[in-house]
Every structure is written in structure tokens, then in C-alpha cells.
Amino acid sequence: MSMLVTGGGGFLGRYLVEQLLMLGEDVRVLGRQRYPDLERLGVECLQGDLRDRDAVEKAVRGCEVVYHVAAIAGIWGRWSDYYGINVEGTQNILSACQAWNVERLVYCSSPSVTFDGTDQKGVNESAPYPEKWLAHYPHSKALAEQMVLAANRPGALLTCALRPHLIWGPRDQHLIPRLIQRAKTGKLRIVGDGKNLVDMVFVENAASAHIQAAGALLNTPDQVGGKAYFITQGAPVRLWDWINEILALDELPPLRKRVSANVAYYAGAMMETAYKMVGQMKEEPRMTRFLARQLATHHYFDISAARHDLQYTPKVSTEEGMQRLGEELASRR
């Protein structure tokens, strides 16, 4: 059985590719660059952009399962980029899957598709999409998720979406390095009262959830097809305590300085306005409205549906994951 992983050279994508290889699957990757290390493992690597229909069709052709992980993430940028890659790119994936009779499509979405800037305490998948958006990323991911779920057709293409929250672990090139760099330069502050609870998920657990979702689409399509699922460790943490634990793994002092949630929000609004006025859409502002709300609010989720429908369970505990992360950070010093 041939399987395609879009974004297979990225953080989550690599773990997913490795797990599929361990299961003996034939794996193909579509990415914006070549990955010689994956090719040495026997992975077929195709280079292309999700907005290129021909490249997408070439990648999808001959595959029975597609894991659509690739996306443009972030808190800043042009709407045309987010829409082109996350929405139109996903439409290209769907069209190619339908044209080439792909059996199953698992889409990597985000819990932020339900985030309206207020607390989310133990919410489940019945949480609605917000009416207003604080950033282009969640808006574009929500549009793409809705397309994927609407495309589910029993007897044809079966689809589902996963919403892994705050993916972390060794080999991360974005979240962890950014936190550490900002802490080292004195640019990181506790936003709000520091007591907000958040969910997160270790990267290996997020990857295995995708494989379990594909299996569930095969075995229980009527139960899983056309649905979205939150994916987490199943045990929320205090965000700023957890961040301080990460900093401690790199032998950095804990954060002490604070800024109120409202001050951070209005500072983010002013920075967004200033960046737009000067046409700066590539470099991210230090703060945005979306980021301020994410850092100060509760957002944790009920994963009972994933446990029941997908047989999902986080195999790597938070404690074990932190130990592995600490070992990697120590090896870099």
C-alpha cells in the first residue's frame, strides 16, 4: 500500500514518515525541497508546491492513503499566502484524491479553528467555528478542514481531520527554539496571571494518532468519516509553568516578569497596525492579538471522542517526553 505524506520533511511529518516505515509501508513525500536523509531510508521524495495542481496530482497518483500535514503556519503574513497554501492547496489535494480513487485522507488541522479569543475549558468537537478571526492561520485551516470533512463519501473517498494542539518534542525547529531564544534575549514575558491551563501533545503521539485515524477510517468508516478530533496528551498543564520547565532543561532561569493580558492584546493590535502601515508582512511582530489571547487564556480539550473512535491514547507520557527533550537540549550545549 502506497502512502503519501504532504509536508513529510517537516517536524510532525518526519515522525509520521518514520512510524509508517516501521510498519513496513511504502511512503512517498511531497515537499518544497528534497530530503536526502529520507531518500536514504527508502522514501520517494517529490518536490513541489501544494498550489501546483500538476505536482499534487503526480504525488497523489497511485496512493491509497494520503496524510495531508503540509501547511503554512504562523501568526502573521499575507492572507493570499495562507489561503493559497492552506485552502487552495488542500482543494488540490482533495481533487487529486478524487481523481485517482484514493481510499482515505487524514487531514492535520488545528484546535485554533475553534478559538475565538476566549477561554476553552474542556471543550469537545461540538465547539463551533468562530464568527471573527484574530489571525489568518486558524481562518484558513478552518476553511480547509470544512472542505475535507464535506468531501467524505462512503464507498469513495473517506476523510477525517485531526486537531493536535501545541506539538512539541525533540527535533522541533520552531516552538522550542523560539521560546529559548526569546528567553535568552529577555524578550519573553508571562502574559496574564500565569495560571492558564493548556493542552499540548508530544510529537510521536500526534504522529501515531494520524495512523490510528487512517485505520479507523478503514475499519469503522461510518463512525469516523467526516469528523474532526482533538488530539492532546489528555492532561492539561499550566502553560507558564511548563514553559519554565522547558527553559530549565536548557539551564535558563524561570520567567519572572509579567504583562497583563489586556496590555499584551492592545500592544499586539498596535504592532499589527504599524506593520501593516509600513508593509511589513514577512517578519512577525513580537506580539499580535491572536498570540496575546493564546498566551493568556485557558484552552484544553475533551479527547474522549478520539479515545473511543480512534482508539487513541498518548503512548509517550509528558514526563518521558520532557526527559527526551532535555537530553536533546543537553546534547546541543
The enclosing domain of 108 has a CATH number of 3.40.50.720
pLDDT at 277: 85
The pLDDT tens digits of the residues spanning 199-254 come to 999 999 999 999 999 999 999 999 999 999 999 999 999 999 999 999 999 999 99
Rounded-to-integer distance, Cα 177 and Cα 183, Å: 10
Grid cell for residue 187? 524578550
Q: Is residue 314 part of a domain?
A: yes
The pLDDT tens digits of the residues spanning 36-67 come to 999 999 999 999 999 999 999 999 999 999 99
- Three-class SS state of 317: coil
- Three-class SS state of 187: coil
Q: Is residue 122 part of a domain?
A: yes
Q: Is residue 263 part of a domain?
A: no
Grid cell for residue 22? 516501521
The one-letter code for the residue type at 203 is V
Residue among 137, 265, 300, 312 flagged as catalytic = 137
Has 137 been annotated as catalytic? Answer: yes
- Three-class SS state of 139: helix
pLDDT at 213: 98
Q: Is residue 41 part of a domain?
A: yes
The pLDDT tens digits of the residues spanning 145-195 come to 999 999 999 999 999 999 999 999 999 999 999 999 999 999 999 999 999
Q: Is residue 264 part of a domain?
A: no
The proportion of the chain whose per-residue pLDDT surpasses 70, expressed as a percent, equals 100
- Three-class SS state of 120: strand
Grid cell for residue 181? 531564544
The one-letter code for the residue type at 3 is M
Rounded-to-integer distance, Cα 2 and Cα 65, Å: 7
Is the pTM value of this prediction over 0.85? yes
Count of domains observed in the chain: 1
Q: Is residue 246 part of a domain?
A: no
The pLDDT tens digits of the residues spanning 22-38 come to 999 999 999 999 899 99
pLDDT at 49: 96
Helices (H), 185-301: 203-219, 221-224, 239-249, 261-277, 289-296
- pLDDT band of residue 102 (cuts 50, 70, 90) is very high
The pLDDT tens digits of the residues spanning 266-293 come to 999 999 999 988 888 778 898 999 999 9
Q: For residue 58, what are the domain limits?
A: 2-167+201-235+300-324
The pLDDT tens digits of the residues spanning 67-81 come to 999 999 999 999 999
Q: Is residue 99 part of a domain?
A: yes
- State residue 166 phi and psi, 5-degree precision: 55, 70
Q: Is residue 66 part of a domain?
A: yes
The pLDDT tens digits of the residues spanning 136-145 come to 999 999 999 9
Rounded-to-integer distance, Cα 17 and Cα 203, Å: 12
Q: Residues of 236-263 as b/e, b for ≥16 C-beta within 10 angstroms?
A: bbebbebbbbbbebbebeebeeebebee
Strand order in the sheet with 65-68: 44-47, 26-31, 2-6, 65-68, 104-108, 158-164, 228-231
| pLDDT at residue 118 tops 80 | yes
Q: Region 297-318: what's the mean pLDDT?
A: 98
